[in-house]
Amino acid sequence: MDKLNEKREPTPALGIKDKYLEQLHSDFQLISEIVLTQISLASSLLQQTPNEVLLFELKRNEKIINSLDITIKEKVIHAIMLFTPRASDLRRLMAYHDMTISMERVGDLIENIIEMLLEIDFTMEGFDAYKKPLEKMFVQTNKMIQKAIFSFAGGSNEMAYETISMDDKVDKLERKIGRKLADGFSNETHTTQSLVNIMNINSISYFLERIGDKAVDIAESAVYLIEGRDIRHVKDPNPMEENT
């Protein structure tokens, strides 16, 4: 009887581990939501004059992202030390670690973009036309980050591969903006402000392209979690395309 009763009792370590992983997932969801909010708020600067409330929210969110980045990394290390996780749990923990690095980097890139947007004067002749292509890049990178996060949360490798395939469009938009700037302003005499506009628009498009790369990194981490397969250096990572 004693042996039967011992088998029926729950294992405390398993309960603690599951709660710990749930908390880790909750922290990752929070950092993901804040990063997506930051992308949306930064995009709004293309169409509106920044106010104190908006700028305060952007700075506060960046601090939260940095804090969560440290918290999640520490929790991953503690989980490995405390629970000696099996292979599937270890993959999940490493996925959290890698994706959090990517999310924090996206936060840094957005911070750079915000600083540059605040310096641009789009009312100068010829520069208003760049709002639309930059807006397209914001929309595309935002979609990529969302899909990458959802691929992890929902265990969808299809959505992860879709995220990776979207990267080409962002790359093309970045090159298009660079060519347009070169063609449009190469033979003109520039003021200090027009030079700031040109350099900052070019840099913003580059940073948005880098955010797309970070979305790909997150999607690759999701694939590693779901399939146990590292596709970071694979030329054609999607096995589904080979069967179509």
Q: Which residue has the higher pLDDT, 35 or 228?
A: 35
Distance CA 107, CA 101 (A): 10
SS3 content of the chain, % helix, strand, coil (to 5): 80, 0, 20
Nearest to 70 by CA among 27, 106, 13: 27
Say what angle helices 131-153 and 87-119 make with each other, to 10 degrees: 160
Q: 134 near 201, Cβ under 8 Å?
A: yes
Is the confidence at residue 244, as pLDDT, over 90? no
Domain coordinates in residue numbering, the chain: 16-236
Nearest to 182 by CA among 169, 199, 168: 199
Report the percentage of the chain scoring pLDDT > 70. 89
SS (H, E, C) 122-154: CCCCCCHHHHHHHHHHHHHHHHHHHHHHHHHHC
Is the confidence at residue 232, as pLDDT, over 90? no
Q: What phi, psi does 199 have (nearest 5°)?
A: -65, -40
The dihedral region occupied by 189, where left means phi > 0, alpha psi between -120 and 50, and beta the remainder, is beta
Which pLDDT value is given to residue 8?
A: 44
- Residues 221-230 have a mean pLDDT of 81
Nearest to 218 by CA among 175, 166, 173, 176: 166
Which pLDDT value is given to residue 29?
A: 93
Does an H or E element contain 86, and which? none
Quick one: 16-236 is in which CATH superfamily?
Phosphate transport system protein phou homolog 2; domain 2 (1.20.58.220)
- Residues 120-126 have a mean pLDDT of 92
Distance CA 57, CA 161 (A): 33
Distance CA 200, CA 181 (A): 11
pLDDT of 48-76, one tens digit each?
888 899 999 999 999 999 999 999 999 99
Displacement of CA 87 from its chain's centroid (Å): 26
